[in-house]
Amino acid sequence: MTVTEKEAIGTSFSAGRRIVLAENERLLNSVQPDQWDRAGDLITSARAVFVIGNGRSGLAIQMAAMRLMHLGLQVHVAGEVTAPAVGAGDVLIAVSGSGTTGSVVGAADVAKKVGASVLAITTAPDSPLAQRADEVLVLPAADKQDHSASITSQYAGSLFEQSVLLASDALFQALWSNEDQTAERLWERHANIG
């Protein structure tokens, strides 16, 4: 079988790359920039930023948390042993594709109860998580249980998880552009042990 024949049936790396890039471009071009700008204001005005998500979504938002820390913000991963209590004036960035992940929705409940803001990143604008949020950032990717391939041909929640990282990196880039901080200044905050 030639490379062209493999690409035609989608079994080559090149075909996979085209799918991932095209789906992420389509998704990121469909988000509402003003919502992400408001999210940036909410994040930068918070006393401290907490992030929570499970699985690959959790890993993606942890990568975003690292970038926010590089900006000099106080950032914590909820559930880590060194994370302090969330409180009034803080913001919780809660990530769940379905918006129904129990631990993430529960964390949003706790945050709201103590006066923190909740920023939800989800595919489901009417979900329990979205209902608890002060700001909802909808990434129109398929829920991981959607196997219809009508929104994405990628497996499970891959498109959502990828777009969490890419949209968060775009937000970081915007926030950094609004700050008077050099790359060298950000690098001083980069982990240097471990």
Q: Is 161 a catalytic residue?
A: yes
Active-site residue, selected from the candidate residues 5, 23, 80, 161: 161
Q: Which helix (H) or strand (E) holds 117?
A: strand 117-122
Q: What is the DSSP string of 62-85?
A: HHHHHHHHHTT--EEETTSTT---
Distances (CA, A) of 177 to 66, 186, 190: 17, 12, 18
Distances (CA, A) of 175 to 26, 47, 93, 96, 141: 23, 16, 16, 23, 24
Distance, CA of 27 to CA of 111 (rounded, Å):
29
Distance, CA of 42 to CA of 89 (rounded, Å):
10
- Backbone φ and ψ for 49, nearest 5 degrees, come out as -115, 130
To 10 degrees, the CA torsion angle through 123, 65, 104, 26? 10
Distance, CA of 194 to CA of 169 (rounded, Å):
24
Are 165 and 141 in contact by the 8 Å Cβ rule? The answer is no
Catalytic residue positions, numbered:
161
